[in-house]
Amino acid sequence: MIPPCLDAAAQHWQVRRAALVRQYVAQAGRAHAGVGVMGIPTVWLPILEKNGFSVRRLKTDACTNIAAAALIRAVEQVQKNRAKVTAQPVPACLRQAAQTYAVSWPVVQRYYTAQQNVSVSARRYGPMHIPAGWLPLLRYAGFPEWRVKHDACWNMAAGVWILAAEHAGDRVPGTGWKGTPINWIPAIPVRIIQDATYASAQTGVPKALLMAVAWQESGFNPQAVSPVGAQGLMQFIPSTWARYGQGSPFNPRNAMLAGARYLRHLALEFHSWPLALAGYNAGGHAVVEAGDHIPDFTQTQHYVPAVLGRYRMLASQSGAR
């Protein structure tokens, strides 16, 4: 019987479960020179000890031994990816990331080339020089921190994911998504700023975050209607409006208050603004089903960092938080 901790180890270190199962089954009931249920080669013991694995537990605890075997496979994959990246002028995994996250190839290529000429910083990681401040959000999006820091291909995917939200990328045919520039702040009607201030005071949701959502959802247009029927400044569908809204969704103050109530509800449920934003876009149930991560929907994966980018701009330029 395969122990449940094998699944947890495969997920944590992002390695193939089938490979771990094969190794576990191959070692079962055999006399072998390695250590523990996975037959870990003794040459790995000093490295594993540096990563917090005690030799005693590797010998006596099956789950610790399986976790160590998963780490070894992750390290070996990192080494393979590093060799591939080094051997290629333009890594194939960089092209794949550009396609996956709908960022135009010239944008990705220019950014990658620029990063190769930047001096390494202690607070930035990998070939894309991922800032440490992005690591928590990347974890919510399903990027394992260890992989982002050490695996070149995972690092490139994370970097392109960030670009998808922050850069005004050209539309990629067939994706239906176009990046929106966030290097400028449009003129915001005074009434909407006042409504955001009021809603923030009523609910405790940061004023700049409310305005960032309104910017992302409707471009500050109180009369906006989406192709799927979402309405108003904060783009409520009728069923959600019935729960959080009062009056008309086309009234800016009503919409801002409803959006603040909904975001507060989601923040209390998930204890995280990034996950609250994911729930606002995809529904709270989708966040739960994704294991309290940002759901693997292209729109939501773009939406969360885009709103946070707008929030940072609004908070830094207006002092509103």
217 is catalytic: yes
Q: Which residue, among 184, 243, 191, 261, has the nearest Cα to 221 in the 3D structure?
A: 191
Q: Which residue, among 181, 179, 220, has the nearest Cα to 302 in the 3D structure?
A: 179
**CA dihedral sign, ordered 280, 208, 258, 269:** positive
DSSP 106-148: HHHHHHHHHHHTSPP-TTEETTTTEEGGGHHHHHHTT--HHHH
Q: Give CA separation, 293 vs 36, 53, 141, 199, 272, in Å.
A: 33, 27, 6, 27, 10
**CA dihedral sign, ordered 167, 214, 135, 121:** positive
Alpha helices in 204-297 (DSSP H): 207-218, 238-244, 252-270, 273-282, 284-289
User: Active-site residue among 76, 145, 166, 217?
Assistant: 217
Active-site residues, by number, are: 217
